Structure 1
Amino acid sequence: MYPVMLHLCSKPIVVIGGGAVAERKVVGLLDGGATAITLVSPEITDTLRELVREGIVVWQQKQYEKNDLEGAFLIIAATDCASVNTEVLQGKAPNQLVNIADNPGQSDFQVPAVYRNGDLSIAISTGGASPMLAKKIKRDIAHLFDEEYNEFIKFLSMARQRILAEISDPGKKRVLLREVMSDRFLSSGSRAELFEELLRRR
């Protein structure tokens, strides 16, 4: 497995199915920044209907056909019919990535459990062996990386931009980038002042 973080904005995504599993997949895609999701299913859940009504996703109220996959970047087969999911897998083009919700072993990619806190995203996967364990680890991580880390990441983003823009010496850049990552900055209630002091001493 090769873990990646995908930019999904404007990428065409097709989800085959409209039940609870499809709903979870769609919500996860939206959380990940997807903006061009098409649902293909005769029926969908109330939550998915609301997303359709709000114009967040597009719904094709029909049975799956092979041409439904044309142009898709990602495809998720999340029906309760194994034969339909297999048809989706067989109908994809070589350059398309397919996830079969009930068969991770045949999928091109697996969807990990994801802990999100602002700009912090941590993906957890057990290679399909135990989704329940992945969810448990996600809960454990939530206690370790609380809101303080979200604020710290915002600070690090600002600090990195300043260092790259204002410091020309590569060695000094590395030293400063390591310094702002220290526990001193993580636990400080006055990071901005500490950072300005650090730059003055560069």
Structure 2
Amino acid sequence: MAGYYPLMLDLRGKTCIVVGGGPVAERKIRSLLDADAEDVRVISPTVTKGIAELARSGSIQLRLGEYLEQDIDGARLVFAATGDPDLNRCVAAAAVVRGALTNVADDSAYGDFVTPSVIRRGDLVMAVTTGGASPALASGIGRDFMARYGPDYAGKVERLRELREHVRLRLADPDERRDLLRLAAEEALAGSLDELTGSSDADRMDEWIRRLRAAADRRQT
């Protein structure tokens, strides 16, 4: 079994092709849209109601018809999800020639990558995979993550992003920046992010920094 290198891709401006129109293809399409993919193109003679609705809304481009090799010209990512193993392998072979990364549904050996179970909480993205060995296990672990890291983490991550930017502007010492940001992350994990008061965002961030400095001083005594 091949090992996989985990990474997060920025799909803005990248052409993503999905060949197939069934439920598996629809899941692939929705995962791309969840990742803010802007150029998703789907090729299939028939599609689910969900895919048809996404096409009507303008979220994806849809060509109803049989797959043609030129359909994947210019693609950065290709998903072969037709339900026909032989056709999927043909799609994958054509994608390799074009230098596109390829995922083959239910047959990871013929593709470049597998799609993990993904949990999104705003900018917090957690991905779990077993390398295709047990998608059910990856899904189960993903559900555990969803229960542990609830929807409130979207707001926590946004606040930590704001703090990080503010700290970079306010504090010159890189060690102090690192220590305060680590303390803030610990607060988020412990569920103890307090409400901040102040007349402006800058005031609130300054208050947070003062509180974190006080906590850091207490740790050193």
TM-score by length of 1: 0.92
What residue in structure 2 maps to residue 197 of structure 1?
210
The alignment-based identity, stated in percent, is 36
| Aligned-partner residue type, residue 184 of structure 2 | V
- Cα distance in 1 for residues equivalent to 2:152 and 2:16: 34
Q: Which residue of 2 aligns with 1:138?
A: 142
Which residue pairs with 1:26 in the alignment?
29
1:47 to 36, 50, 56: 50
Change in Cα spacing, 1:49 to 1:164, as seen in structure 2 (3 Å) is same
Map of 1:89 onto structure 2? 92
Query: What runs of 5+ residues in structure 1 fail to find an aligned partner?
Result: none
How far apart in 2 are the matches of 1:9 and 1:150? 21
Distance apart, 1:55 and its partner CA: 1.1
Report the more deviating stretch, 158-167 or 89-98: 89-98
Offset at residue 190 of structure 1 (A): 2.3
Number of matched pairs: 202
| 1:188 maps to 2:196 | no
Deviation at 1:200, TM superposition (A): 7.4
Superposed structure 1 runs of 4+ greater than 4 Å apart: 191-194, 199-202
Choose the corresponding residue for 2:68, options 51, 54, 65. 65
- Cα drift, residue 198 of structure 1: 3.3
Q: Structure 1 counterpart of 2:208, which letter?
A: F
Is residue 2:130 matched to residue 1:126? yes
Contact 1:97 1:109 in 2 (8 A): yes
Matched, 1:156 2:160: yes
Higher alpha-carbon deviation: 64-73 or 148-157: 148-157
**Shift, 1:186, TM fit:** 3.9
1:196 to partner: Cα distance: 4.3
Corresponding residue SS for 1:181: helix
- The answer for unaligned runs of 5 or more in structure 2 is 198-203
Q: Are 2:180 and 2:213, in contact at CA under 8 Å, matched by a contact in 1? A: no
